[in-house]
């Protein structure tokens, strides 16, 4: 079974948590794209969705699903999103698609955060295989990069990428994150940082892992 098939398994399993007549929170990325495709089969049962990126909004509309703004809702029953890395404590690194800020906003609205991944995303220590994305106000890019170097990381500007919010991304390599909660807080306090891709303060409630043996739930 290839990686795409495992992503589709996880996405299909997440449909079981979607309740009729609700608005579904949807993240972004390749695994979420599989979920949006699957969600199309329920388009007549749900009210619509709130998306964490313009790309996801476009895919939802193609499936015939009404898209709401985060400002239109006071809460969401569930939020479904992927991860670039996830550790055994269900803490994550996200932001490979540069949508980390909007993902944090939509996730914070949800009563239940469901993370869907294939087995390659599971790690013991965050930062082991994937650089940490940090969304930065453009004028602060160099200043923030110097701070990240002082913290032991090797930041790299993701040139040519502008977030949906009009900002830039610094990808921090060589950053083994031993205390994700403290690191998430510390980085968010750096002047010029919009947010960083550590999701430790807002954990996934349920992780669905697509594997060669089928979809596995971690609660």
Question: Catalytic residues, which ones?
Answer: 103
Strand order in the sheet with 92-93: 85-86, 92-93, 198-199
Nearest to 163 by CA among 187, 190, 188, 133: 133
Is 7 annotated for ligand binding?
no
Is 84 annotated for ligand binding?
yes
CB 136 within 8 A of CB 148: no
Is 31 annotated for ligand binding?
yes
What's 124-154 look like in SS3? CCECCCCCEEEEECHHHHHHHHHHHHHCCCE
- Degrees (nearest 5) of the Cα angle 38, 40, 42? 95
User: Can you name the residues that pair with 116 across neighbouring β-strands?
Assistant: 208
Is 30 annotated for ligand binding?
yes
State the Cα–Cα distance between residues 145 and 216, nearest whole angstrom.
Answer: 38
Is 121 annotated for ligand binding?
yes
Nearest to 196 by CA among 94, 112, 84, 120: 94
Known binding-site residue numbers for substrate: 28-31, 81-84, 94-97, 121
Known binding-site residue numbers: 28-31, 81-84, 94-97, 121
């Amino acid at each position: 079974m290839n990686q795409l098939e495992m992503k589709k398994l996880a996405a299909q399993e997440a449909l079981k948590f979607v309740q009729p007549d609700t608005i579904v929170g949807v993240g972004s990325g390749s695994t979420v794209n599989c979920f949006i495709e699957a969600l199309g089969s329920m388009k007549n049962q749900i009210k619509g969705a709130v998306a964490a990126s313009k790309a996801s909004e476009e895919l939802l509309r193609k499936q015939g699903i009404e898209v709401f703004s985060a400002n239109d809702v006071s809460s969401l029953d569930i939020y479904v999103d992927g991860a670039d890395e996830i550790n055994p404590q269900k803490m994550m690194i996200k932001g490979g698609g540069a949508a980390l800020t909007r993902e944090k906003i939509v996730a914070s609205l949800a009563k239940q955060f469901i993370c869907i991944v294939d087995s390659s995303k599971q790690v013991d220590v965050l930062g082991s295989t994937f650089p940490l994305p940090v969304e930065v106000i453009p004028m602060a890019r160099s200043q923030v990069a110097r701070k990240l170097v002082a913290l032991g990381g090797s930041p790299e500007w993701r040139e040519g990428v502008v977030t949906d919010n009009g900002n830039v991304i610094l990808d921090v390599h060589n950053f083994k994150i031993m205390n994700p909660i403290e690191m998430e807080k510390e980085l968010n306090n750096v002047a010029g940082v919009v947010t960083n891709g550590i999701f430790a303060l807002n954990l996934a409630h349920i992780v669905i892992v697509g594997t060669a043996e089928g979809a596995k739930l971690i609660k």
